[in-house]
Structure 1
Amino acid sequence: MITRRQLLAASAALPIAGHVAAAAPASDVLRFVFSRPHDNPRTQWLIRVYTQLTSELGLGFDFVEVPPKRATAMVLTGEVDGELGRTFDYQLLYPSLVRVPEPNNAVRFAAYATRPGLRFDTWQALRAGGIQCEYRLGIVELEHMLLRELPARQVSTIATIAQGVKKLQLGRTDLYFDVEEAVSDYLYFLGAEQRKAASAMRQAGVLLATTGHAYLNSSRAALAGPMAVGLARLKRQGDVQRHLLASLAAYKARL
């Protein structure tokens, strides 16, 4: 868990990353998309990590901000070179993409509830109970799981975590599904009054524990190995954790 002391210590680290102007020719600049907005601290973290990583490989880096579904489409067509983070099994959904073997981080998909006693145990129990479930748009893994396991009438979508939390609080949905890390960040960065209002929400179960990886268009397949080796080295050096702390601290400071 990231502590306040760690955030403060990192606050003077790297400036907030944005579109990176690369000195290399366009063919030597890797263009990446991600399923979260540009100003999200986890996006900023991966931008920092992959800017360093591509630079050490003699390449430039550029981040392109588009909606999550558009992001995947752009990687598939080669309009951009890769996606900064998707789960290990994402390749099963899009087999033409090339997974960088070294993971960015651990990822858990979780269910959240405000109703006392409600838990995610089995899909069968959710079906039988007519439980109304919701997930955030752009999380393709959740979309496939929920629509595969539940009738369409029991599944809805929202655009932001804030909307998902609000609908739970209002009783308009029973379970909200998202990435545990994203929900934890959202709650951590809330103001005291907002955090108190959201205190009734609790984790009601974990659907899947996996790892997050960068993915490349097949035209860049040869880079997967060198990127994995470089990413593992950045982890050992402590750079990946340093970039995470700096990104979280910068976001906290902006709030």
Structure 2
Amino acid sequence: MITRRQLLAASAASASLAVAPAVPAAPDVLRFVFSRPLDNPRTQWLIRVYTQLTTELGLGFAFVEVPPKRATALVLLGEVDGELGRTFDYQLLYPTLVRVPEPNNAVRFAAYATRPGLRFDTWQALRAGGVRCEYRLGIVELERMLLRELPATQVSAIPTIVQGVKKLLLGRTDLYFDVEEAVGDYLYFLNPAQRHATSTMRQAGVVLATTGHAYLNASRAALAPPLAAGLARLKRQGDVQRHLLAALAAYKARL
């Protein structure tokens, strides 16, 4: 027989369970790296895009700022979940990475010069002319391309666009190789005096035209299709372009 005391105890326990606040489970957080620093407007653009995408998938987003060459190593080791942007063929270099099939944007690798008449036409012409070529560290595609096509004595690397452009203007290199939009952003945000100082610099040819994609560690492969579908939808809605314009405007305001 259930006593009155037992009934009261059971009712009290039920009541305490009923009023206990539910603690929501913390969202799974995707940690991303990128080949550009946190304050770069293109980094801020992709952070805005992928924060919206992951939020819509019920996931969290975190950006981890590391040097470009370390970024891929962290993804391969599974210490972070993905890279915000690398080229389509980056997967050929690191086949265990999973490419998000929908591209973030179009990407072109270009050569820049100050010497009148100097152009990038063929690698053979650069080899024959002893042209001194430089690329920015962390752009693995350019690194492998230049070292494959040219003698090591004709190739050097630089950590930042600022240093690459400065060496080019000083005549310490003949051609500077980088991502076209990165150089375009750098030149766009210069003040008038700085822009005048770079007036002799011009694009000397396009090395490769491709697309940029997010990449995931293999353990996150299942997220590639929903991220791709979401990214395509954000493009149609105009959100991707809106995020880009907002990131560029915020960067210009900081300057």
Question: Is the pair's TM-score, using the shorter chain for normalization, greater than 0.5?
Answer: yes
- State the partner residue of 1:95: 95
- State the partner residue of 2:84: 84
Distance 2:248 2:56 in 1: 24
Quick check: 1:24–1:60 contact (8 Å CA) kept in 2? Answer: no
- State the partner residue of 1:50: 50
Distance 1:195 1:157 in 2: 24
Distance 2:151 2:194 in 1: 33
* 2:176 equivalent to 1:203: no
CA displacement 1:87-108 (0-9 Å, x = unmatched): 0000000000000000000000
In the alignment, residue 25 of structure 1 is paired with which amino acid? A
Matched residue count: 232
Secondary structure at the counterpart of residue 205 of structure 1: strand
Residue 25 of structure 1: how far off its partner (Å): 3.0
CA displacement 1:52-96 (0-9 Å, x = unmatched): 000001100000000001100000000000000000000000000
RMSD: 0.9
CA displacement 1:15-37 (0-9 Å, x = unmatched): xxxxxxxx9636x1000000000
* 2:230 equivalent to 1:233: no
4+ runs deviating over 2 angstroms: 23-26
In the alignment, residue 170 of structure 1 is paired with which amino acid? L
CA displacement 1:93-134 (0-9 Å, x = unmatched): 000000000000000000000000000000000001100000
How many percent of aligned residue pairs carry the same amino acid? 87
Secondary structure at the counterpart of residue 118 of structure 1: coil
- State the partner residue of 1:25: 26
Q: Which consecutive residues of structure 1, in runs of 5 or more, have no partner in the other structure?
A: 1-22
- State the partner residue of 1:60: 60
Q: Which consecutive residues of structure 2, in runs of 5 or more, have no partner in the other structure?
A: 1-23
Residue 162 of structure 1: how far off its partner (Å): 1.0
In the alignment, residue 54 of structure 1 is paired with which amino acid? T
- State the partner residue of 2:3: none
Secondary structure at the counterpart of residue 120 of structure 1: coil
Secondary structure at the counterpart of residue 38 of structure 1: coil
Distance 2:78 2:104 in 1: 22
Secondary structure at the counterpart of residue 52 of structure 2: helix
- State the partner residue of 1:138: 138
Secondary structure at the counterpart of residue 222 of structure 1: helix
Distance 1:141 1:249 in 2: 30
CA displacement 1:150-184 (0-9 Å, x = unmatched): 00000001111111111111111000000000000
Distance 1:221 1:196 in 2: 47
Secondary structure at the counterpart of residue 206 of structure 2: strand
Distance 1:162 1:195 in 2: 13
Distance 2:211 2:193 in 1: 33
The structure with more radius of gyration: 2
